[in-house]
Structure 1
Amino acid sequence: MIRERTVNAAILALLVAVPAWAQWADEPFTITLATRVVIFAVAAVGLNIALGLGGLVSLGHAVYFGLGGYAMGVLASHAQNYSPLMEWPLQLDGTKSMPVIWLTAILSSALAAVAIGLLALRTTGVYFIMITLAFGQMAYFFAISWPAYGGEDGLSIYVRNSFPGLNTLIPIQFYGLCLAWLGVVLFLNARLARSSFGLVLTAARQVPQRVEAVGLDPTRAKLVALVISGAITGLAGALFADLNRFVSPTMLSWQMSGEIMVFVILGGVARLFGPVAGAGIFVLLEHLLGGISEYWQLFLGIILLLIVLSGRGGVVGMLSGRGATHE
């Protein structure tokens, strides 16, 4: 079997080679598809920290994804001249600066993860899943009932936000920013998995009683993991909203939470590059089969079923032939 490091290197090479070829061939849409893959991969890496390391099956991760998107939308809409209602409910100083927007998205999503985690982690199993789903639905319907920022119709941002020294309207440059962020969160994930905190988190997932026996708090470890996970997913939401220059309540829906989880399961739970592979497969299937049939998810379901039945390691695990652990 191929070593997992080789599989990871091949995935990384594709992330570099495909957009480079598209730039050379003047295929900007391919670069946009690749950017979509990278942003979804960032969101899935965030979930993989909570799910793969902490064993937290969250069906409410779209809360953080949507919060990141709305952080971008609200700040950018206050900075542009056009207002859909011509009058804002809040007197905010908007900004088109990506670093400021990213920081806002990360902090707001992290704070939401603290609030949700403090309540949800009082439960386990299916109850934890239902509580995270409930928070997701509350956030979704709140966004729908918020007409000041588009309500059900969403909010359009007519000019992409700015980053010092770059023209973010050029697809390959915006892709480079997103790829850099993916590299950062993958590095963070790898370090967490190998750190003492990662060992505590793994032990808390497997045998929490033993963690308590040595004087550590498994719930606190899971809360920290959930906060880190939410912050990363919120960053992905801001990037996704900037890619589309549009934010809507669908970013907060339970379907979005399910899609992020599908990315992780497809690629491989607890695999470092599993979320990247899963996001790539999902976007590729959506692009290739979406034009053939509006029911393309049927084929996705069949593939997901085969992967789950064949082993827990996802696509990366099947190729490397190893268990669901980080190499």
Structure 2
Amino acid sequence: MSVATASPSDARPRAPAARALAPLAIFILLALLPLAATLGLPAHWLTLVTRAMIFAIAALSLDLVLGVGGLISFGHAAFIGIGAYGAGILITEGQTELLVALPVILVVCAAFATVTGYVSLRTRGVAFIMITLAFGQMAFYFAQALSAYGGDDGLTLYEKSTLLGHDVFANRTGFYYIALGTLAACYWLARRLVASRFGRVLRAARENAVRVTVTGYDVDRVRLGAYVISGMMAGLSGFLLANQTDFVSPAYMSWPRSGELIFMVVLGGVGSLHGAILGALAFLVTEDVLSGLTQNWKAIFGPLIVLFVLFTHGGIAGLANKLRGRRDG
């Protein structure tokens, strides 16, 4: 009597399916968190995770150009600041309608990304990092010079954006689900872009731009397109951040904030997209827990991140894949 045995090839089709389930599991758990809050989870966690999801949108946007395109942008927080200040200035001037404010913010972010990206993409490597940092600092100092809107002290908002006259951001749970829905939409868009011909060209250009150019593709145009989409996505996160905190500050677009976004992407797993979400959640939750334990939490937080990145080789997403592979093996 023969005994059927499973060959290694039988297990291969299950691996992509298992990886596809990871983002779904993340969004299901996030969707269930408000229920946990009603069952005894501290109320401030809902606000904390809302903030983490907002930054996850920014981290996801950075992963699109860093992880997929291989472009290390050290001024990406500028787009968060543009989105936040766009919302803040419009609200201060009496324009609270979301359907008016959001398109204006996205257009401004796209214009800034087009101009700065066109210049930055003339360079490569360290030069690209430094020039994006320079553009980010230019935006930071410009925000500090806006004395009519708080200058260095920032701008306090006494209203939130509205949708057709309805204050959709007033309810904490409602805001949570708006942030979750926006994050899910941005993730879906990023996944579609990566899976498209556009995304394949962007990934191939990361490996060998000359070879891609020889095949007839305009690498700079593809990279610029990715940079513009990424900037608009980060601007969207800034819009949500302003409405959550009711405050806008030049610090939103400072270089340490850009560094934090890179940490989130690396912590979650560069290029995995859902890893950027995990990285943002892990970064902000760990920051909140440690800051509640000691005033010197940064002295603990920094080494923890460094050690984790050094010993996992692929961030949280990579570690999860390894653990799943051992279990399946």
TM-score (normalised: structure 1): 0.89
Aligned to 1:101: 101
Contact 1:28/1:171 (<8 A) preserved: no
Task: Write the mapping of 1:137-156 to structure 2, written as runs, cut at 5 A.
Answer: 137-156=137-156
The alignment status of 1:77 with 2:92, answered yes or no, reads: yes
The alignment status of 1:29 with 2:44, answered yes or no, reads: yes
Query: CA RMSD for the aligned pairs?
Result: 1.8
Contact 2:68/2:203 (<8 A) preserved: yes
For residues 11-70 of structure 1, give each alpha carbon's deviation from its aligned partner in whole angstroms, at most 9, with x where no partner exists: 222211222221454854221111101101111111111111111100000111100000
1:305 Cα shift?
A: 1.8
Aligned to 2:64: 49
The alignment status of 1:18 with 2:33, answered yes or no, reads: yes
Aligned to 2:3: none
1:230 Cα shift?
A: 0.3
Aligned to 1:86: none
Instruction: Tell me the secondary structure at the aligned position of residue 96 of structure 2.
Output: coil
Normalized per residue, which structure has more helix?
A: 2
Contact 2:27/2:184 (<8 A) preserved: no
Task: Write the mapping of 1:157-196 to structure 2, written as runs, cut at 5 A.
Answer: 157-164=157-164, 167-196=168-197
Name the CA distance, whole Å, in 2 between partners of 1:40 and 1:114. Answer: 22
How many residues are paired up?
A: 307
Aligned to 1:271: 272
Quote the sequence identity (%). Answer: 40
Cα pair distance change 1:26/1:306, threshold 3 Å = closer
Greater shift, 5-14 or 121-130, is seen at 5-14
Instruction: Tell me the secondary structure at the aligned position of residue 58 of structure 1.
Output: coil
Greater shift, 309-318 or 55-64, is seen at 309-318
Cα pair distance change 1:312/1:297, threshold 3 Å = same
Name the CA distance, whole Å, in 2 between partners of 1:263 and 1:135. Answer: 21
Name the CA distance, whole Å, in 2 between partners of 1:141 and 1:232. Answer: 22
1:304 Cα shift?
A: 2.2
Contact 1:155/1:246 (<8 A) preserved: yes
Name the CA distance, whole Å, in 2 between partners of 1:133 and 1:167. Answer: 35
Instruction: Tell me the secondary structure at the aligned position of residue 321 of structure 1.
Output: helix
Instruction: Tell me the secondary structure at the aligned position of residue 216 of structure 2.
Output: coil
Larger Rg: 2
Aligned to 1:83: none
Gaps in structure 2 of 5+ consecutive residues: 1-13, 324-329
Gaps in structure 1 of 5+ consecutive residues: 80-94, 323-327
TM-score (normalised: structure 2): 0.89
